[in-house]
Amino acid sequence: MANRVILLDVECSMFGMRARLALAEKGIQYERKEENLADKSPLLLEMNPVHKKIPVLIHDGKPICESLVVVQYIDEVWKDKSPAFLPSDPYGRAKARFWADFIDKKVYDAGRRIWSTKGEDRETAKKDMMDALKLVEVELGDDTYFGGDNFGFLDIALITFCSWFHAYEVFGNFSFEDHCPKLIAWAKRCMEKESVSKSLADPNKVCESLLLLGKNYGGVDQ
């Protein structure tokens, strides 16, 4: 079927949530297929033979992989549908891409270490997380969204991590609101958007999943 859109996804993945949110913002109808990463489907292995990861957007039979690439693809292919995710000027687009890459490198890595380690390593991960998010707060400034008055690319890149914040707090015994109140206020504004609230996973479900993973990684205190 021409223009058929399929998303290979995992409910609690912040990267899968990005694709769901981008599709919701553009109002694109699609078929969602939940993947089991412990037993990957033949379709996932066929569509993403390089990394074998989700999300994979399949548009008219052609796969698009990596979440930030998927979000940009959705923005470009359905450019006639509002809103536009990236700024119109090259510098604004470059900044948005820079900070999205920063989030994937610094915030994701620190979060992974919060739930998969203990003791001093976990304390270091918490500090790294706060240091990274405070820099992101500076980039937000006093704007409503990272795109100013418009919810856009960098908002999509970061808001899905907020579904994981509760789990990080449980593992690390700290509060994001105490350290990054401006960022939490931004997250609450984002969650008022129906596209966001319906695309993000339940934080409690994320926490339950991470508790199981944490036991395997040795990151859960016995």
Average pLDDT over all residues of the chain:
94
pLDDT score recorded for residue 214: 64
187's tokens: 């997250």
Q: Output the CA torsion sign for 205, 206, 211, 217.
A: positive
For the chain, residues with pLDDT lower than 50 are 1, 220-222
Q: What is the pLDDT of residues 187-206, one digit of tens each?
A: 999 999 999 999 999 999 99
Can you give the pLDDT at residue 190? 98
Question: Can you give the pTM of this predicted structure?
Answer: 0.94
Q: Burial code of 104-133, b = ≥16 C-beta within 10 A, e = fewer?
A: bebbbebbbbbbbbeeeebeebbebbbebb
Please, which residues have CB within 8 angstroms of residue 202's CB and are 6 or more apart in sequence?
A: 163
Query: In order of start, what are the domains of the chain with their CATH numbers?
Result: 5-77 (3.40.30.10), 90-217 (1.20.1050.10)
State the Cα–Cα distance between residues 178 and 184, nearest whole angstrom: 9
The confidence score (pLDDT) of residue 150 equals 94
pLDDT of residue 2: 52
